[in-house]
Structure 1
Amino acid sequence: MKDIELLAPAGDLEKLKMAINYGADAVYLGGEEFGLRAKAKNFSIDEIKSGVQYAHERDKKVYITLNIIPHNEDLEGLEKYILDLEKANVDAFIVADPGVFSIVKKVVPNMEIHLSTQANTTNYSTANFWHQQGVKRIVVARELSLEEIENIKNNTLDTLDIEAFVHGAMCISYSGRCLLSNYMVGRDANRGECAQACRWKYNLVEEKRPGEYYPVYEDDKGTYIFNSKDLCMIEHLPKLIDSGVKSLKIEGRMKSSYYVATVIRSYRMAIDAYLKDTKNYKYNKEWLNEIKKASYRDFTTGFYFDKPNSEDQLYGSSSYIRNYDFIGLILDYDKENKLATVEQRNRVFKNDKIEIFGPNKGFYNQEITEMFDEEGKEIDVAPRAKQIFKIKVNKPVEKWDMIRKAREE
């Protein structure tokens, strides 16, 4: 049980470092090809090398997504790319397609392979088949209950690991195999270009009455009929772990560094509390309150306890709830003068009331009483993106700590 892994998304190098610093045991990321997040910044080979070095120096792991459902032309260059990734010393590949799997086994036979949720593994027979082929880990389909996951674990070898999503956006198509984006705008979700057409607003049109739009339910503004709530299982981590899940996966390679840090930090605290004393573990509602200080939709437990129903959908809006703004990343701290050097992320003013938080610790509140530019001149506002400025802080801070501010509205 001590080997439980918290697995974080990394959309770029900063997010990789943020995830690791805030408590992730491993990160998963995509290169510039062959992954399912084409709109993320993603990593060049050199950036992957840097990220792997950063992770390994801290005894963390890096997994690379090769999980597109490829057409013939998508296979061009794959073998060279796989060899480049092996030289970068990555820890595992995440694959979904049997053809990609076979190429990986041929080119880098000793590479650890994880089977993506895109492969739709929903039973122990399929899991055993893939383990016999050389798959080390199964990322189970999101459509499984805890009982089904436990059944898979009980009917597979101990050498096969189970990974499951525990937090983030939910796809309305079976394990993400969606055709809406392709049909609507010609962007193939299964080749990394999903337009999230499921979150658009829809009305009903009868075939012989073109132009007459009927709401799917009684609201003249229409409805977001396919729009799921976001998954959140932080209240139920003991049940997930007890079901046999080894790796707890957070969704969100397109999300911000602030989101990654905030969510990972809460799950880290919850996992550590459970593993420290499983018999006397108590859920702390502050972990969820902290998660809600990043952007979020309303939450659901997905399929884990029962099949989703109308309560798990968001019919009124596809927008995120944002109660806090990330306003700065702390780069340095002058202990003698109690000054924090900050990289601005959203506009911040003197006299703003802020919260400062960081890895492995809580947060505290203070008011900004003094602000200075890089030359030491006193200022009243830091308006420019990534502007470097300094503020007087009430308590010691560290590099990678973050500053947030409640939104006035």
Structure 2
Amino acid sequence: MKKVELLAPAGDLERLKMAIVYGADAVYIGGQIFGLRASAKNFSLEDMKTGIEFAHERGKKVYVTLNIIPHNDDLNELPHYLTKLEEIGADAVILSDPGTLMYVKEYIPNMEVHLSTQANNTNYMSANFWHKQGIQRVVLARELSLKEIKEIREKTDEDLEFEAFIHGAMCISYSGRCLLSNYMSNRDANKGDCAQSCRWNYYLVEEKRPGEYYKVEEDEKGTYFFNSKDLCMIEHIDKVIESGIYSLKIEGRMKSAYYVANIVSVYREAIDTYYRDKENFKFNPKWLDEIKKASHREFSSGFYFEKPGHTEQHYGSSSYVRDYDFIGVVLDYDSETKLATVEQRNRIFKGEEIEIMGPKVGNSNQTIEVMLNDKNEEIEVAPHAKQIIKIKVDKPVEKYYILRRPRKDD
């Protein structure tokens, strides 16, 4: 068994770098066209080239999404875009549409091709079909159990890889094939512009009483009955690896750099712990505690063990749990003065207790006793967005280390 790949999302260049530094083996990104995250910043070709070089210098890979369901007009730019992706060194493209695949085979025939979860691959015959079309990796639908995945692995060619989501938001529809957003807000989920209408609060109308709205309530907050819990498989990482999945995928190209760093670092440690001693592997509760320090909804194991029932929906709220604030990222460190140069991401106050996290799980806590502005003047607060400051730290830090603090109740 070759070691599994940890695959992380990256919505922009900063998040790509964080994912790589914090332990991802590969990242998946979207360009400014053909990717299913229209609201993300996404990558210009120039940033994509920079990110690919950053990854390759560290022995990591970058996959580019081409997974919209295209209409005729969408295809006009595709040939030029494909040749550019090959020129800048993309390691693979991720697609779901047969027409897009035909273009890839015509214009960049040597490119590795992954089949997106948008293609809804749920059985071994479908996987074998796509493999015969030149697909090297199938991203499995979220609606599969570990038992089904094992059977798919057993009944497909050994050189066909499988990828599956292990963490992040779940969709109420079949692997993203949702029309609710189109209907409610005229935003096409299959072209990357989902309004997340499933997260809204709804009322009930009886057909013979039009205009009379009845609240559907679990409590005074209402009921978000389409609102799925987040997927989290950190407690079962050994079972996921042993199912035959090669690439373990984290959802979240819209998530923050802090989220990416936090989630990747935890799964990195869990995977490495498994391979160090498979026979005696045990889940470490501190991994889940650490994951909960990033924004999240309540967690679920999705479809991996059984089909989700009524307990897999989050009825009380569509908002995230956010117990920690991301307040800064380290740019540099002076070992003589013990001063870390920090780019501020949220207001930082002298005298407050903070945590400093790096690529490995295990953090240091300290009080900010010395904080300087860019003129080396002592300050009490850093209130400006992305303000460059210096903070005296108790332990050595490196570039890309993250500062965070427990969120205070307002």
Query: Same fold judged by TM-score > 0.5?
Result: yes
For 1:105-145, what per-residue CA distance to the aligned partner results, in whole angstroms no more than 9, with x for missing partners? 11111110000000000000000010011100000000000
Task: Report what 1:19 is aligned to.
Answer: 19
- Cα gap change, 1:219 to 1:111, in 2 (>3 Å): same
Query: What are the within-5 Å matches in structure 2 for residues 303-314 of structure 1?
Result: 303-314=303-314
Task: Report what 1:96 is aligned to.
Answer: 96
Report if aligned partners of 2:269, 2:361 keep a CA contact under 8 Å in 1: no
Q: Distance in 1 between matches of 2:309 and 2:332?
A: 48
Task: Report what 1:63 is aligned to.
Answer: 63
Point out 4+ residue stretches in structure 1 off by more than 6 angstroms. Answer: none
By how many angstroms is 1:220 displaced? 5.7
Structure 1 position 208 matched with structure 2 position 235: no
Report if aligned partners of 1:214, 1:222 keep a CA contact under 8 Å in 2: no
Query: What are the within-5 Å matches in structure 2 for residues 50-199 of structure 1?
Result: 50-199=50-199
Task: Report what 1:294 is aligned to.
Answer: 294
Q: Distance in 2 between matches of 1:388 and 1:178?
A: 43
The letter of the residue matching 1:139 is: V
Task: Report what 1:393 is aligned to.
Answer: 393
Q: Distance in 1 between matches of 2:186 and 2:76?
A: 21
Q: Distance in 1 between matches of 2:218 and 2:56?
A: 55
Report if aligned partners of 1:122, 1:144 keep a CA contact under 8 Å in 2: yes
The letter of the residue matching 1:9 is: P
By how many angstroms is 1:3 displaced? 2.8
Q: TM-score, normalized by length of structure 2?
A: 0.98
Task: Report what 2:326 is aligned to.
Answer: 326
Structure 1: 5+ residue runs without aligned partners?
none
The letter of the residue matching 1:76 is: N
For 1:54-84, what per-residue CA distance to the aligned partner results, in whole angstroms no more than 9, with x for missing partners? 1000000000000001111111111110111
Q: Distance in 2 between matches of 1:408 and 1:52?
A: 38
By how many angstroms is 1:217 displaced? 4.6
Q: Distance in 2 between matches of 1:394 and 1:233?
A: 34
Q: Distance in 2 between matches of 1:370 and 1:59?
A: 38
Q: TM-score, normalized by length of structure 1?
A: 0.99
By how many angstroms is 1:214 displaced? 1.9
The letter of the residue matching 1:210 is: P
The letter of the residue matching 2:46 is: D
The letter of the residue matching 1:49 is: K
Task: Report what 2:244 is aligned to.
Answer: 244
Report if aligned partners of 1:165, 1:251 keep a CA contact under 8 Å in 2: yes
Q: Distance in 2 between matches of 1:369 and 1:286?
A: 28
By how many angstroms is 1:2 displaced? 3.9
Q: Distance in 2 between matches of 1:215 and 1:255?
A: 32
Report if aligned partners of 2:219, 2:316 keep a CA contact under 8 Å in 1: no
- Cα gap change, 1:218 to 1:13, in 2 (>3 Å): closer
SS in 1 for 2:279: coil
Report if aligned partners of 2:201, 2:222 keep a CA contact under 8 Å in 1: yes
For 1:145-185, what per-residue CA distance to the aligned partner results, in whole angstroms no more than 9, with x for missing partners? 00000000000011000100000000000111000111111
Q: Distance in 2 between matches of 1:216 and 1:339?
A: 55
SS in 1 for 2:93: strand
Q: Distance in 1 between matches of 2:73 and 2:313?
A: 37
The letter of the residue matching 1:102 is: M
By how many angstroms is 1:208 displaced? 2.2
The letter of the residue matching 1:332 is: D
Structure 1 position 404 matched with structure 2 position 404: yes
SS in 2 for 1:279: helix
Q: Distance in 2 between matches of 1:8 and 1:212?
A: 46
The letter of the residue matching 1:365 is: N
SS in 1 for 2:288: helix
**Which has the larger displacement, 81-90 or 205-214?**
205-214
Q: Distance in 2 between matches of 1:219 and 1:208?
A: 26
SS in 1 for 2:278: coil
SS in 2 for 1:105: helix
Task: Report what 1:356 is aligned to.
Answer: 356
- Percent sequence identity is 66
The letter of the residue matching 1:125 is: M
Q: Distance in 2 between matches of 1:184 and 1:333?
A: 50
Report if aligned partners of 1:215, 1:221 keep a CA contact under 8 Å in 2: no
Q: Distance in 1 between matches of 2:150 and 2:402?
A: 38
For 1:266-303, what per-residue CA distance to the aligned partner results, in whole angstroms no more than 9, with x for missing partners? 00000000011101111111111111111110000000
Instruction: Tell me the C-alpha RMSD between the 2 structures.
Output: 1.0
Report if aligned partners of 2:221, 2:317 keep a CA contact under 8 Å in 1: no
Task: Report what 2:366 is aligned to.
Answer: 366
Report if aligned partners of 1:229, 1:300 keep a CA contact under 8 Å in 2: yes
By how many angstroms is 1:207 displaced? 1.9
Task: Report what 1:347 is aligned to.
Answer: 347
The letter of the residue matching 1:117 is: T
Report if aligned partners of 2:218, 2:316 keep a CA contact under 8 Å in 1: no
For 1:215-271, what per-residue CA distance to the aligned partner results, in whole angstroms no more than 9, with x for missing partners? 335546531110000000011011111110000000000000000000000000000
Q: Distance in 2 between matches of 1:116 and 1:207?
A: 39
- Cα gap change, 1:44 to 1:202, in 2 (>3 Å): same
By how many angstroms is 1:360 displaced? 2.6
Q: Distance in 2 between matches of 1:222 and 1:286?
A: 33
Report if aligned partners of 1:7, 1:250 keep a CA contact under 8 Å in 2: yes
The letter of the residue matching 1:197 is: S
The letter of the residue matching 1:193 is: D
- Cα gap change, 1:337 to 1:219, in 2 (>3 Å): closer
SS in 2 for 1:135: coil
Structure 1 position 253 matched with structure 2 position 291: no
By how many angstroms is 1:210 displaced? 2.1
